Amino acid sequence: MKIVVLGGGLSPERDVSKKSASLIANALLSKGHEVALVDLYDGIENDDPVDGLFRKGTGNLFSFDIPEEEPDLEKVIADHGGRREWLGPRVIEICKKADCVFLGLHGAQGENGKMQAVLEAYDIKYTGCGYTGCVIAMDKGLSKAIIAQAGFKTSTWFTLRDRNITFEQVVEKVGLPFVVKPIGCGSSCGVSIVKSKEEFENAMDYANKYEHHIIIEKYIKGREITVSILDGKALPITEIIPHEGFYDYKNKYQTGLTTHVCPAQLSYEETARAKQIAEDQFHLLRMTAYGRIDMIYDGTDFWFIEANNLPGMTNTSLLPEAAAQTGIVYEDLCERIAEAAGRRHVD
């Protein structure tokens, strides 16, 4: 197959995406496919024929390491002459040349349905959820509302678009401690756990750095677990145990800072219940192909945190680890996802 792997983009998760995309591209090359690795935001600046960007071969032809801090997007924009359009030059042109597009994107336009809608407008096949599932899953307030309406457990929450709220008003609504986060970011960008009034303003500043539309929810204490879904079925469950603090950006992507226990140490009944809940929520949110449902288990109930419609595909990412537990190695996982995309009909 001829495959374009899209990564990067103009998102707080730009660097995570570049790591995922480079690993995906190498995996697909190792399986004998022709691969072009393209940054969604950078695009293709020159006028050379795009066919020449497809490569064949083995070995790690692409590489990228994730820095400890989220990228400075204003600097990225400045380095590109101030261009704020998120779809880079000639991206669609090269995507049209491929049998499918593998979305190694995370966050913003890569996950909120915009890129999926653009690809469908051009009748281009792509990996992951359709645009409807992406819109629903990426909006943390909307997804929680759907989950709650269906009778599943999720913490008390509210959303707001401005900062006209006091610490005392938040505590009255959801209690203490509580979580502040942007409504449409992933990789824990902009996320804070607030335990005191002194932490409140910093948490709001951090969330508003990425979005003005934020969600505030009651903090649920318990074991953090995630259920990866492949082809609509749950893979082995993973428990996430950060060595310090919570599962923030640094703990997610810097090797050795978090322990992943897969399969999670749950009873047979707990495992079966968590998997069924995750599969039901996955389909309820109109997600397809593959994804992840994040939960907190308090010893009695499984509480929905959020859904991830384009899970990370880095060397510390959860879905590849869960797939490996069933005997699906990373290279085969990438090929399986790409081949499924090549067979699908654009919605």
CATH of the domain at 193: 3.30.1490.20
Specify the DSSP element, H or E, that contains 35. strand 34-39
Its pTM stands at 0.89
Residue 132 lies in a domain: no
What is the rounded average pLDDT of the residues 320-345? 90
- How many domains in the chain? 3
Asked if the model's pLDDT at residue 172 lies above 70, the reply is yes
Asked if the model's pLDDT at residue 218 lies above 90, the reply is yes
Domain shared by 209 and 268, yes or no: no
Domain range holding 231? 137-153+222-325
Considering 198, 218, 238, which residue would you say is the last residue of a domain?
A: 218
What is the rounded average pLDDT of the residues 245-265? 66
Asked if the model's pLDDT at residue 256 lies above 80, the reply is no
Q: How many Å apart are CA 166 and CA 343, to the nearest integer? A: 52
Instruction: Report whether 113 contacts 140 (CB < 8 A).
Output: no
Asked if the model's pLDDT at residue 326 lies above 90, the reply is yes
CATH number at residue 72: 3.40.50.20
**Residue 284 pLDDT:** 97
Tell me the pLDDT of the chain averaged across its residues: 89
CATH number at residue 229: 3.30.470.20
What is the rounded average pLDDT of the residues 206-218? 88
**Residue 290 pLDDT:** 95
Domain shared by 202 and 57, yes or no: no
What is the rounded average pLDDT of the residues 119-141? 94
- Structure tokens given for 310: 């384009």
Burial degree of 288 (CB within 10 A; 0-12, 13-18, 19+): buried
